[in-house]
């Protein structure tokens, strides 16, 4: 097996825990041994998401993800979802703005099956025209379902208004006009361009032996040829210079408010401070898209909860500051309490946000936020599945070193850092305000 191994400049502890190997075809293989139970989780990550789509093809990354569960040259369509089920395991996949990923977690004796599935998915998916047509109906129905959810609809409209040039403005599911016209050739061509080993990261975490896993990975993937990858997105979003506003009026019973601000990418030195700022405002969420947002954050002492929920203006508040490759958004979401005027809800929200850059935060708030963030980051690695997700996610949007050093970056944040990042990013000229008003 001809491979190149590396551990980069990560801490010594992280270097010992994760083996990083690159096969001759460019596939990056990351292995972490965890011998607490006879389980293994396999994730295959591709550096392709909705930000890589051109005009007229929005939603194609997500659609390809759907098609790649529809059978391959050597896996009949009806068997794709049953192979792992027979081992008592589970499988899934998702697409977002920076990445597409597929996963299986099962007992260790299923490892070869998992690697076989992912090697087939990388090289030999079929894209049967009949499946393309049926999946078009499924995805359009999914889009229409999202539009019937006022909170989701407002999120899409605010994001589209906040970005004027960068493709982060497009929803991952795509725009309806594109979903109606994308062809089988569009989908298959996109799949062949982006699903190459040199655009992928394979992550294996569990009760395995590293050298053995690397031999099996070479056998499964080594024969797949590297490809010429499309040029990466080079668009820089212009600096926002004035507040933008969006109002959506639809049938409904509840009013929603969203306030978004352009926020730093994960590699930016201000990212850790932004995480702490979000924790102070809405509660610490952690950084695992797979698991962290599935449970409520500890927010009863957060600023927006006390200013909106405790006063009866809102039924719920939330925030999202996520790790992305390019600068994205910090989004505050508020569900108005029944009978409350939206103007009063917005005024109270903006007053709280504005005081973050003028009044700063106290030392007790800072320490509580950092403590909660560190705890959430420990909890989100509580299984081989969650740990494998985090390793692959950060390798895709940044690097393993970024993942390994984030706890220390959070620990180093000061009250002055939070005030500084609030003054820079929570400026009125940097925000987009959205209302959903039930008609």
Co-location of 250 and 172 in the same domain: no
Which tens digits make up the pLDDT trace of 296-322? 889 999 999 999 999 999 999 999 999
Residue 93, class by beta-carbon neighbours within 10 Å (0-12 exposed, 13-18 middle, 19+ buried)?
middle
Gap between the Cα atoms of 45 and 48, Å rounded: 9
Which tens digits make up the pLDDT trace of 55-94? 999 999 999 999 999 999 999 988 888 999 999 999 999 9
Domain membership of residue 101 (yes or no) is yes
Domain membership of residue 234 (yes or no) is no
**Distances in whole angstroms, Cα of residue 152 to Cα of each of 62, 107, 142, 156:** 17, 36, 12, 6
What's the CATH number where 292 sits? 3.30.830.10
Co-location of 180 and 257 in the same domain: no
Co-location of 264 and 197 in the same domain: no
**Distances in whole angstroms, Cα of residue 428 to Cα of each of 102, 114, 278, 423, 431:** 39, 49, 17, 10, 6
Co-location of 338 and 208 in the same domain: no
Residue 19 has what pLDDT?
A: 96
**Residue 52 backbone zone (phi > 0: left; psi -120 to 50: alpha; other: beta):** alpha
Gap between the Cα atoms of 288 and 286, Å rounded: 6
Domain membership of residue 14 (yes or no) is yes
Residue 233's contacts (CB-CB under 8 Å, 6 or more residues apart) are 51, 52, 166, 167, 326
Residue 267 has what pLDDT?
A: 97
Provide the pLDDT confidence category of residue 432 given band limits of 50, 70 and 90: very high
Co-location of 191 and 275 in the same domain: no
Domain membership of residue 17 (yes or no) is yes
Co-location of 169 and 39 in the same domain: yes
For residue 6, pLDDT over 50 is answered with no
Domain boundary among the residues 206, 221, 236 is at 221
Co-location of 180 and 249 in the same domain: no
CA angle 417, 420, 424 (to 5 degrees): 140
Co-location of 200 and 168 in the same domain: yes
Co-location of 216 and 288 in the same domain: no
Beta strands 244-250 and 431-438 are: parallel
Domain boundary among the residues 221, 256, 280 is at 221
Co-location of 49 and 135 in the same domain: yes
Residue 413 has what pLDDT?
A: 97
Which tens digits make up the pLDDT trace of 364-388? 999 999 999 999 999 888 999 999 9
Domain membership of residue 367 (yes or no) is yes
By mean pLDDT, which of 94-103, 197-206, 224-233 is the weakest?
224-233
Name the one residue in this structure whose structure tokens are 């409350």. Answer: 340
Q: What are phi and psi of 29, to 5 degrees?
A: -115, 125
Q: Which residues form the domain of 396?
A: 244-438
Burial 63-73 (b: 16+ CB within 10 A, else e): bbbbbbbbbbe
Task: Read off the pLDDT of each residue in 271-298 and give the average, rounded to a whole number.
Answer: 91
What is the domain count for the chain? 2
User: Which ranges of 289-339 does DSSP label H, i.e. alpha helix?
Assistant: 303-304
**CB hemisphere CA count around 82 (13 angstroms):** 6
Mean pLDDT of the chain: 94
User: Which ranges of 124-270 does DSSP label H, i.e. alpha helix?
Assistant: 129-147, 150-162, 176-179, 184-194, 210-221
Co-location of 217 and 84 in the same domain: yes
Which tens digits make up the pLDDT trace of 114-173? 999 999 999 999 999 999 999 999 999 999 999 999 999 999 999 999 999 999 999 999
Provide the pLDDT confidence category of residue 9 given band limits of 50, 70 and 90: very low
Which tens digits make up the pLDDT trace of 14-30? 544 899 999 999 999 99
Co-location of 193 and 272 in the same domain: no
Residue 14 has what pLDDT?
A: 52
Beta strands 100-107 and 90-95 are: antiparallel
């Amino acid at each position: 097996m001809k491979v190149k191994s590396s551990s980069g400049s990560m801490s010594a502890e992280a270097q010992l825990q994760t083996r990083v190997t690159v096969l001759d075809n460019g596939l990056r293989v990351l292995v972490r041994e965890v011998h607490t139970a006879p389980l293994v989780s396999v994730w295959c990550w591709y550096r392709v998401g909705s930000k890589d789509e051109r005009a007229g093809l929005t939603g194609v990354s997500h659609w390809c993800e759907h098609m790649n569960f529809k059978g391959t040259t050597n896996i009949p369509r009806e068997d794709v979802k049953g192979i792992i089920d027979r081992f008592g395991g589970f499988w899934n996949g998702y697409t977002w703005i920076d990445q597409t990923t597929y996963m299986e977690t099962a007992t260790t004796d299923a490892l070869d099956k998992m690697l076989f599935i992912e090697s087939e998915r990388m090289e030999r998916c079929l894209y049967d025209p009949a499946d393309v047509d049926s999946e078009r109906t499924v995805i359009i129905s999914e889009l229409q379902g999202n539009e019937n959810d006022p909170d989701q609809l407002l999120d899409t409209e605010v994001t589209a208004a906040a970005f004027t040039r960068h493709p982060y403005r497009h929803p991952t599911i795509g725009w309806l006009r594109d979903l109606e016209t994308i062809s089988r050739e569009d989908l298959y061509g996109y799949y062949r361009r982006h699903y190459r080993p040199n655009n992928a990261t394979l992550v294996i975490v569990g009760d395995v032996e590293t050298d053995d896993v690397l031999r099996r990975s070479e056998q499964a993937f080594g024969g797949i040829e590297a490809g010429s990858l499309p040029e990466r997105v080079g668009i820089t979003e212009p600096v926002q210079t004035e507040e933008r506003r969006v109002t959506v009026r639809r049938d409904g019973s509840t009013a929603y408010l969203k306030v978004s601000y352009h926020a730093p990418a994960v590699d930016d030195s201000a990212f850790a401070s932004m995480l702490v700022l979000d924790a102070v405002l809405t509660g610490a969420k952690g950084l695992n898209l797979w698991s962290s947002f599935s449970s409520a954050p500890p927010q009863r002492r957060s600023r927006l909860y006390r200013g909106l929920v405790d006063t009866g203006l809102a039924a719920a508040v939330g925030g999202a500051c996520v790790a992305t490759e390019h600068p994205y958004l910090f989004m505050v979401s508020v569900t108005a309490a029944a009978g409350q005027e939206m103007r009063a809800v917005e005024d109270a929200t903006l007053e709280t946000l504005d005081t973050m850059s003028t009044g700063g935060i106290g030392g007790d708030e800072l320490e509580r936020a950092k403590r909660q963030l560190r705890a959430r980051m420990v909890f989100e690695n509580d299984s081989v599945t969650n740990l494998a997700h985090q390793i692959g996610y950060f390798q895709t949007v940044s690097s393993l070193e970024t993942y390994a050093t984030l706890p220390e970056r959070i620990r180093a944040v000061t009250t002055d850092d939070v005030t500084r990042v609030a003054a820079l990013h929570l400026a009125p000229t940097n925000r987009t305000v959205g209302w959903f008003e039930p008609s």
